[in-house]
Structure 1
Amino acid sequence: MADMDEIYKNKIVTFLRAFYAAKYAKVDNMPCQIEPGLFLGSVGVAYNKDALKNFNITHILVVAKSLGSPYPDDFHYKKIEAKAAGGGVLVHCFAGRSRSVTIVLAYLMKNRNMSLSEALGHVKSKRPQIAPNEGFILQLQNFEKSLGANRTKNLNVGDSSQ
């Protein structure tokens, strides 16, 4: 019986994956540029090879365990360091509204010294449909606190060496 449940579960997951890929391929298939070299989108963007090429996206960070890599010969997957190499990075999950947004927000907070509020405002201005879930917002708030503590510590270290 457990084997049958697993088979049905896998079939449902496969169906949902195909359903969302088809849905987002029609209604949300263009990358939103957050900053030079950093793009955010849904699974629909990840399947829009022409748009990926047009925006010089060379690397794709997939933030969804069940999503595959549709063009493994054309793009590098899961390599966030691509911005330094001159190519663009697409960060996506299914809808490009919560998981992938959280990754991009954390990146902006850490690497651009933005507050959570500033990062949210910036990303929302580029991709209005974002909606990170409450759990991710709590994690980002904690991350912001840890960044503040680290920045304060780094400032104090810098002050004492002068």
Structure 2
Amino acid sequence: MEGGIFRERLKALAQIMQALKMVKEDNVPCEIEEGVYLGSLGAANDKITLKSLNITHVLTVASSLSPAHPNDFVYKTIPEEARTTGGGVLVHCFAGRSRSVTVVVAYLMFKNRMPLLEALEHVKILRPVASPNLGFMSQLHGFERSLQGANTDTVLQV
């Protein structure tokens, strides 16, 4: 019984160590298109870099992450208005690999009328760790089908 508890605590400690490494090493946002950046928790915590890139808004795609600099940036959930205010937007989740990538890919599909695979490849070129999980890929495929059958000008104004 005690061995199981020890293993669970050791696993939790390893996850914390990985998170700290990520915050330290993966702290540069990738510009996906003008004013739209993708990154991890590390990028979201680097206030100097965010300011230097004229990022004014941060879209966090993780309910468990609190805003790192609430007095310096506008933190939002969807819908996002920063693209109309002249500032840049950092979209991030914990690792910047799945949830936030899914949001950015969907944005590119909608705004630029890009097919899913083209939008995903574009993001992967700029952020090689991008890898939406199977559930998100399924949702993106469904979103692609809905875009093909809908008049997107009436669905959402970006």
Q: TM class by shorter-chain length?
A: 0.7 to 0.9
RMSD: 2.2
TM-score where L is the length of structure 2:
0.83
Name the residue aligned to 1:56.
54
Cα-to-partner distance string for 1:78-129 (whole Å, 9 max, x where unaligned): 1621011000000000000000000001101111100101101110111011
Q: Structure 2, unaligned stretches of length 5 or more? A: 1-11
Match of 2:144 in 1: 144
How big is the shift at 1:21? 4.6
**How far apart in 2 are the matches of 1:20 and 1:108?**
30
Query: How far did 1:22 drift?
Result: 2.0
Larger C-alpha radius of gyration, 1 or 2? 1
Within-5 A mapping of 1:110-129? 110-129=110-129
Amino acid at match of 1:64: A
In structure 1, stretches of 5+ residues that fail to align are 1-11, 155-162
Give 1 or 2: higher helix fraction.
Answer: 1
TM-score, normalised with respect to structure 1: 0.81
Provide the identity percentage: 55
- Conserved in 2, the CA contact under 8 Å of 1:41 and 1:92? yes
2 CA distance for matches of 1:46 and 1:58?
11
Provide closer, same or farther for how the CA distance between residues 132 and 142 of structure 1 changes in structure 2, counting only shifts above 3 A: same
What CA distance in whole angstroms lies between the structure 2 residues aligned with 1:26 and 1:67? Answer: 16
Who is 2:134 aligned against? 134
Q: Is the 8 A contact 1:29 1:42 kept in 2?
A: yes
